[in-house]
Amino acid sequence: MDRPIRVLVAKPGLDGHDRGAKVIARALRDAGMEVIYTGLRLTPDQIVQAALQEDVDVVALSILSGAHGHLLPKVVDKLKEEGIYDEVLVLGGGVIPEDDIPELKKAGVAEIFTPGTPTGVTIDFIKNNLKRSL
């Protein structure tokens, strides 16, 4: 069935820098996806409830506060609690040190995109790694 990919773009935690999230939202829009943009300062619970209600394929989390080690795994855990982790691809983006990435992946974040990543790379990754068929 031909349908648009639905992506939730969210900013977990306490940082007010949403330029990156907006750039990625715009790029995904131009790639034909439906982007649900949820704005700043959300808790993992809020993000997961929004993802559930919006029936999204992807949760893309932008974070520049340094709290990624805590917040990103928390989103994954809550998605599992709600029983939707098997359907939802979780991505991270922002200023995240190389050294932290393996740990995040182990926690269930599929990929991390750091500053300077061409948006096309993210788009291709999403298209090739969806957990449920279109």
Partner 1 sequence: MELGKRLLEGDKRAAARLISMIENDDPEAVAILSAYFSHTGNARVIGITGPPGAGKSTLVDKLAKLLRKKDAKVGVLAVDPTSPFSGGSILGDRIRMSDLNLDPGVFIRSMGTRGQLGGLSKSTLGAVKILDIMGMDYILIETVGVGQSEVDIVKAADSVLMVMVPGLGDDIQALKAGIMEIGDVFVINKADRDGADRTKTEIEMMLDFSHGDWRPPVSQAVAVNNIGIEELTDNLDKHWSFMKDSGKLIEKRVNNSELEIIDLTQSAILKKMMGNDDNRNRIRELAKKVAIRERDPYSISQMVLKEMIVGEEGGVKD
CA atoms lying within 13 Å on the CB side of residue 14: 0
Measured from the Cβ of residue 49, the count of other Cβ atoms closer than 10 Å reads 14
Among 23, 32, 118, 124, binds partner 1 (CB under 8 A): 32
Q: Does 29 interact with partner 1 (rule: CB under 8 A)?
A: yes
Distances (CA, A) of 46 to 4, 78, 79: 23, 10, 11
The whole-angstrom separation of Cα 61 and Cα 43 is 11
In sequence order, which residues have a C-beta less than 8 Å from that of residue 128 and are 6 or more positions away?
A: none
Site for partner 1 in 55-94 (CB under 8 A): 55, 82-84
Site for partner 1 in 91-130 (CB under 8 A): none
Length of the chain: 134
CB of 97 to partner 1, least distance (A): 28
Measured from the Cβ of residue 60, the count of other Cβ atoms closer than 10 Å reads 22
CB of 2 to partner 1, least distance (A): 8
> How many positions of this chain bind partner 1 (CB under 8 A)?
31
Nearer to partner 1 among residue 96 and residue 123 (C-beta): 123
CB of 106 to partner 1, least distance (A): 27
3-state secondary structure of 70: helix
Residues binding partner 1 (CB under 8 A): 1-4, 6, 25-26, 28-39, 42, 45-46, 49-50, 52-55, 82-84
